[in-house]
Amino acid sequence: MLQDEQECVHMSMFLEHIESAGHTCVLRDTQDFKSPVDVAALVTQEPSFDAALAIHLYKGGRLLLGSKAPFGIIFGGTDVNEDVKDEKKRMVMEQVLKEARFAVAFCHKLKEEAEVFWLSQSSKICIQPQGVETKVAPGFSWSDFLRSTGVSAAGEDDLHVFLLVCGLRRVKDPLYLVEAFSEWHSEDPSVVLIIIGPEIDPVFTREVEANVERAKGVFLAPERSQEELHAALKRSFALVNSSISEGMSAAILEAMDLEVPVVARDIPGNSAIVRHEDTGLLFSTPQDFINVSKRLLGDRPLLERVVKNGKRYVEECHSSAKERIAYQRLVQLLH
C-alpha cells in the first residue's frame, strides 16, 4: 500500500479494513521510492506481493505504472484540483487510471471532476465516502496543550479556540485568515486561532512561523498524535478549514463526529459535505469568516443545530463499517 506522508492516518484505516478480511498488508511512504523500478523490485521480492493500493493518481499511482501486481487507486483532492493543470502529470494520471483495476472517489463531485478529463475510464471509478473513526487521548491536558502553543491557560474557560488543522503547505492556505483574525482578537481577546499540523513544506513552514509570530491571537501548535489532536479538537470552540482546494477533509468529518462546529472555506470539496447553516458554516472571504464566526458565538440555537446535524450526517454517510465492507469488496477485484 503506497501513501503520501500526510495521508498516513487515512491509509492506516484502509489497511485495517483489508487486514480484517485475512490479508497481510505493508504500508509504505511514496517518498521511499524514486521511480516505478523501485516499486517493481519491492513487489517481486520474496514473498511477493499479490496486489497494491495507492492514494493519489500522481503521487502514488505513477509509481505503480508497469507493475506486475494488479492495483487499485484512491483519488486525492490534489489530483483533480491541482495536478490536472500540469499536462505531463495529467497524461501520467490517465495511464494510471487505464492500468488500475478500480479507482475510488470520495464523493460524486470528485468523480464528476475526474470525468472531465478521463470520461473513458468512468466505469471503473466508484464512489465511497471516507469513513470516520475518532478516538480521544485519555488524560489529555487542555491547559498543557494551550501552554505548548503559547496561549496563556489563565482564564481558559473563557477562551473560544478556533482550531485550524492542516499540513503546512500552500494548498491548505493556513495564512488566509491570519490578518483578519488578528484584528478580531484585538477587539475580542477571548478568541484565538491555533494552527496545528505536520510540516510538509519546510520553506512555507518558515513563512507561516514568521507571519504567526507577528500576529496577535494566532498561534502555531506542534504536531500531535491523532488521539491527542482529537482531544484538542473536542475542547475547541470550532474547527476551521481555509484550504484553496480539498478532496474530502478528514478533519471536517472528525470535528462533526466529535460534535464540534465547522467553519469552512466555500470551495467544492468543502461544500460537498458542509451545508451552510445546517451541518456547518461556509465563508468566502476572511471578513466573511469573521462574520459567520461571530454569529456562531452569539447564536446558541444555530450552534446546536449545526452540531446536531453534523453528527447525524457523519453517522449516516461516513460509516467506517460501510467503508470496511466496500474496500473488502474492491480488493477482490485485485485477485
Report pLDDT digits (tens) over 215-246.
999 999 988 999 999 999 999 999 999 999 88
On whether both 184 and 283 belong to a single domain, the answer is: yes
On whether both 28 and 116 belong to a single domain, the answer is: yes
Reported pTM = 0.85
**CATH classification of the domain holding 273:** 3.40.50.2000
Mean pLDDT of the chain: 91
Report pLDDT digits (tens) over 57-88.
998 999 999 888 899 999 988 888 889 999 99
**Structure confidence at residue 265 (pLDDT):** 98
Report yes or no on 307 lying in a domain: yes
> Which residues are registered as beta bridge partners of 276?
280
Residue 8 has pLDDT above 60, yes or no: no
On whether both 300 and 192 belong to a single domain, the answer is: yes
Report yes or no on 136 lying in a domain: no
d(CA 36, CA 235): 44
**Structure confidence at residue 2 (pLDDT):** 45
The count of structural domains within the chain is 2
Give the residue numbers spanning the domain of 230. 142-317
On whether both 222 and 106 belong to a single domain, the answer is: no
On whether both 296 and 150 belong to a single domain, the answer is: yes
Report yes or no on 250 lying in a domain: yes
On whether both 157 and 33 belong to a single domain, the answer is: no
- What does the pLDDT average to over 248-253? 92
**Structure confidence at residue 175 (pLDDT):** 97
On whether both 265 and 186 belong to a single domain, the answer is: yes
Interior angle at CA 212, CA 211 and CA 218, nearest 5: 145
Task: Calculate helix-pair angle for 300-317, 286-298, nearest 10 degrees.
Answer: 100
Grid look-up 461544500 returns 271
Report pLDDT digits (tens) over 151-196.
987 788 899 999 999 999 999 999 999 999 999 999 999 999 999 9
How is residue 75 written as a grid cell?
Answer: 483519488
Q: Which of 258, 313, 303, 263 is nearest to 285 (CA)?
A: 263
Report yes or no on 6 lying in a domain: yes
Report yes or no on 104 lying in a domain: yes
On whether both 77 and 166 belong to a single domain, the answer is: no
On whether both 147 and 109 belong to a single domain, the answer is: no
On whether both 17 and 49 belong to a single domain, the answer is: yes
Residue 331 has pLDDT above 90, yes or no: no
Q: Which one has a higher pLDDT value, 12 or 234? A: 234
Report yes or no on 137 lying in a domain: no
Report yes or no on 280 lying in a domain: yes
Strand order in the sheet with 191-196: 218-221, 191-196, 160-165, 238-241, 262-265, 281-283
Grid look-up 458565538 returns 297
On whether both 290 and 178 belong to a single domain, the answer is: yes
On whether both 172 and 245 belong to a single domain, the answer is: yes
Report yes or no on 24 lying in a domain: yes
How is 131-198 classified by DSSP, letter by letter? P----PPTT--HHHHHHHHT---TTGGG-EEEEEE--BSGGG-TTTTHHHHHHHHHH-TTEEEEEE--
